Amino acid sequence: MLDWIQSGGTFVIFGGSFLFVTIFVALNRLLKALPSPVNKLLVRWVRLILVSFFFGLSLHLTILESVSLWRLWVIGTLVWGVFESIYAWVFIMAWDRSDFPLFPTMKGVDDVNWPANKRFFYIRDWIRKNQYESIGSVKYVHEGESLQQVAVFRSPDKEVVLQVMIIPDATGVIMDQVAFNTLCQNGDRIITDNSFMPYGGAYPKTWMVKRYPSVRKIDILGSRHACRLSNVGGGFQKFEEDLKEWMEGSQIELEKVNIDQGLLNSRNDRKEFGKLSGEGRYRIWLEFLCLNYFGQSLFTK
Which pLDDT band holds residue 223 (cuts at 50, 70, 90)? Answer: very high
pLDDT confidence of residue 169: 74
Find the length of the chain.
Answer: 301
| Chain segment 110-137, per-residue pLDDT in tens | 889 898 888 899 999 999 999 999 999 9
| Chain segment 49-107, per-residue pLDDT in tens | 888 888 888 887 777 778 888 888 899 899 999 999 999 999 999 999 998 888 888 99
| Chain segment 6-34, per-residue pLDDT in tens | 444 555 555 656 666 677 677 767 666 66
Sign of CA dihedral 182, 183, 185, 186: positive
- Say what the pTM is: 0.85
Sign of CA dihedral 296, 160, 221, 244: negative
Residue 278 — φ and ψ, nearest 5°?
A: -60, -45
CA–chain centroid gap for 96, Å, is 18
